[in-house]
Structure 1
Amino acid sequence: MKIVLGITGSIAAYKAADLASQLVKLGHEVHAVMTNSACEFITPLTLQTLTRQPVLVSLEDEKNSWKPGHIELADTADLFIIAPCSANTLGLLANGLAPDPLTSIYLALPRETRVLIAPAMNGKMWLHPATARNCKTLVADGCQFIEPATGDLACGYKGVGRLADVPDILDAIAR
């Protein structure tokens, strides 16, 4: 299966390396797409090495080809998963905004492509009505969610908002 793995700005971005590695070991072709904020937490080189594929971070990365890479990835993906997905990216997706390759791929996906979203954020942000509204919009658009886990959060709080564990994400992909 060809999987496009979106990674957004969250301390949980380090778990994307394990997820990418596990998916490749399972025989999937994995293409990582990162937001600029994600690069503050994990490097594109790490994901490129684990996936054995170029990593798309900005639309300027596409200058090496006449065909826009984000459109080609959207056209050929069997699964589009964002793990972790920040509150900011949820808002961009729900409102049809595409300032980067990750959100551009989402908008260019054929309707039949499966979309999984694994949020990770502070618990107050996850429980905010605006986040709930964005999630409701995305579910109505056909997206599926992998609910965040409960536990210690990077901000020092305890509660809901942690990225789901990698085995749980792998199970959701397999379903």
Structure 2
Amino acid sequence: MHQKHILLGVSASISAYKAADLANELTKRGYAVDVLMTQNSTKFITPLTLQTLSKRPVHIDVMVEHRADLVNHIELAKQADLLLIAPATANIIGKLASGIADDMVTTVAMALKTDVPKLIAPAMNTYMYQNPVTQKNLVRLKEFGYKEIEPREALLACGDFGRGALATNATIIQAVEATLSQRSL
């Protein structure tokens, strides 16, 4: 049996720091974890942190090709057993729902085969999460085969209390493992 390959997409949320523990725990469990970051997410957590914990290169710029004979974002998509975007901001959700592919996360997501499982873990302010546009975009993503790992209700970084906090890493990992085990049946 081959090593399962997870693409971990990180977008620009204060909860991006939790991606370090996710990458670390998934790697320890024997998964190959390739981290995809939006440019703005690098302002919350450094690529070096995620590279060190995943033991693999971190991918940020669609225009950077490591090998002349391969198109990086296509190769990453071909290797994927699962896409996990955690945290997923309203921005990244809106881009994916609209088919916009202008960063590493959205471009690789668009290049995935339709049968590759896609998990998305929103993290944002309560009012952003409840916004009808965000909710409509989440419904659209579900129509495209994405499964939402719902945010928690908590005191948020902005000081508001409500639904919008990133699901716990335990919940996210449980969803990853359940999805991968269903796929291998």
Q: Same fold (TM over 0.5)?
A: yes
Tell me the residue number matched to 2:72.
Answer: 69
SS of the residue 1:97 aligns to: coil
Q: Distance in 2 between matches of 1:63 and 1:30?
A: 17
Q: Separation in 1 of the partners of 2:44 and 2:68?
A: 28
Paired position in structure 2 for 1:171: 174
- Runs of 4+ residues over 6 Å off in structure 1: none
How far the C-alpha of 1:26 sits from its partner, in A, is 0.4
2:159 to 142, 145, 156: 156
**Aligned-pair CA distance for 1:65:** 3.3
Per the TM alignment, residue 62 of structure 1 is displaced from its structure 2 partner at its CA by: 1.8
- Within the candidate set 53, 56, 68, 2:56 is matched to 53
Aligned pairs (5 A) from 1:95-174: 95-174=98-177
Let me know the Cα RMSD of the aligned residues.
0.8
| AA partner of residue 104 (structure 2) | P
**In 2, Cα distance between the equivalents of 1:62 and 1:123?**
38
Partner Cα separation in structure 2 for residue 147 and residue 52 of structure 1? 28
Provide the rounded CA distance (Å) in 2 between the counterparts of 1:128 and 1:69: 35
- What percentage of aligned pairs have identical amino acids? 46
In 2: Cα distance, 1:65 partner to 1:121 partner: 38
Residue correspondences, number: 175
Q: Is the counterpart of residue 37 in structure 1 residue 48 in structure 2?
A: no
Normalised TM-score (structure 2):
0.93
Superposition deviation, residue 66 in structure 1: 3.1
Q: Match of 1:136, SS? A: helix
Where in structure 2 are there 5+ consecutive unaligned residues?
Answer: 179-185
Tell me, yes or no, if the aligned pair for 2:126 and 2:164 is still in contact at 8 Å.
yes
